[in-house]
């Protein structure tokens, strides 16, 4: 009887953990925002063959 109780408790804790992780991932995904990135103009790359 104790084995069944421990297995049941472990399954319940596992299900609660899975639900909490999914909720946390959804909240983090909703907070992501695109940030504009400025690109500085650079000098043209030197070609090794044209030296």
Mean pLDDT of the chain: 84
User: Residue 15 pLDDT > 70, yes or no?
Assistant: yes
pLDDT band at 17 (very low <50, low <70, confident <90, very high): very high
Tell me what pLDDT residue 48 has. Answer: 60
Its pTM stands at: 0.52
Question: How many angstroms separate the Cα of 46 from the Cα of each of 24, 35, 41, 50?
Answer: 48, 31, 15, 8
Question: Token pair of 41, please?
Answer: 């103009």
Question: What percentage of residues in the chain have a pLDDT greater than 70?
Answer: 80
Distance of CA 11 to the CA centre of its chain: 25
- Residue 51 pLDDT level (bands cut at 50, 70, 90): low
- Measure the N-to-C terminal CA separation of the chain; round to a whole number of Å: 82
Predicted confidence at residue 33, as pLDDT, reads 77
């Amino acid at each position: 009887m104790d084995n069944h109780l421990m297995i049941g408790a472990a399954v319940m804790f596992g299900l609660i953990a899975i639900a909490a992780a999914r909720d946390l991932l959804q909240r983090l995904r909703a907070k992501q925002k695109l940030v504009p990135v400025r690109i500085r103009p650079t000098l043209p790359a030197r070609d090794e063959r044209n030296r």
